[in-house]
Amino acid sequence: MIDDPLLSMVLIDQMEARAGDGDDLFSWDAEGWLGYDLNKFWIKTEGEYVDGRGEDIELQALYSRAIAPFWDLQVGWRTDIRPQPSRNWLALGVKGLAPYFFDIDAALFVGENGQTSARLQAEYEFLFTPRLILVPDVELNLYGKDDKNVGIGSGLSNIELGLRLRYEIRREFAPYIGINWIHLYGDTADFSRDDGQDDDDFRFVFGVRAWF
């Protein structure tokens, strides 16, 4: 028997089409890890394509260390591949299960030229049945100073709220439908309007969640 075997997991939390006013888009949010009970290597990626063009693409590579039951400390590297010019960040965060079973992923980022950022992601699962599950989620992004080249302003940059209802055909595979709303704030909203884009985006979504 191996007391601490090498394990791995890949979770595609969101792979979806988003339909609403303006261009339809394809979005994803996925992560995976390889390692042992206390120490793991994580990969996280999220992004979206609009009319076949990558609009926002992010990749993180992290070392993760368990610091308490259900909580990991994570440190590593984040790169924003899109929009251009790309940006690189040192990442430091925590990921785990808060009281009342809220799934939390919070991180601080230190980038080039003194840029800083913070992110909070949280979600909760309401089980109507063992297979039918409603998942509200929220994401907030904050930045320390303006980065006009990529359309980011200081302070609270955006809030994203989602509500998705999935049906687990198998535990490992679940189609879902839902809604998603993104609102931009401050200079980020101003940069978006100057570029001819909206600062508010509401869409219907449909996609699949899978893990293996």
Residue 53: what pLDDT?
81
Q: Does some domain include residue 96?
A: yes
**Residues 41 and 19: beta-carbon distance below 8 Å:** no
Instruction: Name the nearest CA neighbour of 209 among 157, 135, 112.
Output: 135
Q: Does some domain include residue 94?
A: yes
As a whole number of angstroms, the distance between CA 158 and CA 112 comes to 21
The total number of structural domains that make up the chain: 1
Q: Does some domain include residue 59?
A: yes
**C-alpha dihedral, 29 to 34 to 35 to 41, nearest 10°:** -60
Which residues form the domain of 173? 7-211
Residue 1: what pLDDT?
55
Q: Within 10 A of 46 (CB to CB), how many other CB atoms are there?
A: 18
Q: Does some domain include residue 1?
A: no
Q: Does some domain include residue 2?
A: no
Query: What's 177's domain CATH number?
Result: 2.40.160.40
Q: Does some domain include residue 52?
A: yes
As a whole number of angstroms, the distance between CA 190 and CA 182 comes to 15
**Residues 118 and 94: beta-carbon distance below 8 Å:** no
Q: Does some domain include residue 138?
A: yes
Phi, psi torsion values for 186, nearest 5 degrees: 60, -140
Residue 105: what pLDDT?
98
pLDDT tens string, the chain, 212 residues long: the values are: 568 899 999 999 999 999 987 778 999 999 999 999 999 999 999 999 988 788 899 999 999 999 999 999 999 999 999 999 999 999 999 999 999 999 999 999 999 888 999 999 999 999 999 999 999 999 999 999 999 999 999 999 999 999 999 999 999 999 999 999 999 999 999 999 998 888 999 999 999 999 99
